[in-house]
Structure 1
């Protein structure tokens, strides 16, 4: 059985024993029903990961004793930024979850013409916190010790101006070029539309901003499927899959 992993910001090599944060305690004790003596791993999202042992389990809190530092190498050599058009509910969650599993370094939620979600103020803050939770769970599951960066919601024109890498791609089902025709980059920004895709105007705006339009097959994919497929292709060709 694989050792359970938990994310905690308070992880420090200077403290060998400490009380687990409430959310980690609930997950470890109430969900997984771990007992004293159970071995777990703790990581802080910045590359630090330790083995640890539960030394005390009570109803409202639990304590752990840190063991040895764990050397992990789960990060892709390909630096990917995902510009993801915002979709409703579980579709956006799925795209973010799988992007983390597939090694993305940064995720930028983007408001587009066909975005059916209105996000501002408290609503935007709640979505940000929710998506952060999705990312944390994906890191715990996939073995990543680095938590990808999640930005605040951005407008379409802003991301076109602000996000440029060695290779910049926009997914377009009508494009004539495929991934295999491109040269291997060290860094990649990938723009994917929401439900209904990007409009013709938005695709032209992306091209004018230096993005190359690419497609990967004759079938039209849902936005959450497109993110998974495109990232998997990029990691297979230029990253650490396959």
Structure 2
């Protein structure tokens, strides 16, 4: 199997292109030579697929390739799952994004809440998001996905709730909204999912320490339903992945 690379450019069989700078750098790291085959994908279009390509020239900082045949694939999850996560501290968010990409998340929205340890603003937030998008690209290349999950800009939970509800027009119009909660009466996630034929889900999980009561109330008012993953309390970076795996099983 040839090495896979994400190229954020238009791809068409029979054409020759210079790879984007970041993609070219990755090809050069592998010390590929002219004549060697690679696989390219850009996540564009309505149909999943990837292109064969042949390295034609290796420059000091650029790489030219000829695009070959396009092959349709079907590696995306049957359900569209959006994760809204209270960012865990240190490098745990990196790990979460890598694994969520492998499992098939369609998008990841990092949010700051009352109990968040990690707080990002302005340039620092932009750098972190760029770093996370790079992780999502690398994970997609490795696992065989041809669509890179969208990593949204950092927002506060309040900002995101207001914006997302306004964009959908009604909370229920964007599939099922699920909130991980330790409240009594929360339904098991598997039970909540098994009872619906919806194909789109938004899963909200807090940071270390969870969401505050006021934040949970705000989420419920925006159409989220409280669910539980079981009797144990999972870490902030583990819970979204457990939920994602569960949602993909039903």
SS across alignment from 1:89: coil
Tell me if 1:179 matches 2:189: yes
- Comparing 56-65 and 87-96, the one that deviates more: 56-65
- Uncovered stretches (5+) of structure 1, i.e. residues with no partner: 238-242
Q: Cα offset for 1:231?
A: 0.3
Other-structure match for 1:205: 218
Tell me if 1:151 matches 2:152: yes
CA contact (8 A) 1:160 1:206 kept: yes
CA contact (8 A) 2:190 2:247 kept: no
String of CA shifts for 1:144-168, please: whole Å, max 9, x gaps: 2122222221221232231543211
**Equivalence map 1:228-239=2 (5 Å):** 228-237=241-250
**Equivalence map 1:102-117=2 (5 Å):** 102-117=103-118
CA contact (8 A) 1:173 1:218 kept: no
SS across alignment from 1:66: strand
CA contact (8 A) 2:13 2:70 kept: no
SS across alignment from 1:60: coil
CA–CA separation in structure 2 for the residues paired with 1:118 and 1:178 = 31
Query: What do you get for the CA RMSD once the two structures are aligned?
Result: 1.9
Tell me if 1:168 matches 2:177: yes
| TM-score in terms of structure 2 length | 0.86
Q: Cα offset for 1:65?
A: 1.2
CA–CA separation in structure 2 for the residues paired with 1:178 and 1:76 = 22
- From 38, 42, 45, the equivalent of 1:44 is 42
| TM-score in terms of structure 1 length | 0.89
SS across alignment from 1:11: coil
CA–CA separation in structure 1 for the residues paired with 2:79 and 2:65 = 35
CA–CA separation in structure 1 for the residues paired with 2:191 and 2:63 = 54
- Uncovered stretches (5+) of structure 2, i.e. residues with no partner: 166-170
- Size of the aligned set, in residue pairs, is 235
CA–CA separation in structure 1 for the residues paired with 2:227 and 2:67 = 47
CA contact (8 A) 2:13 2:69 kept: no
- From 204, 208, 211, the equivalent of 1:191 is 204
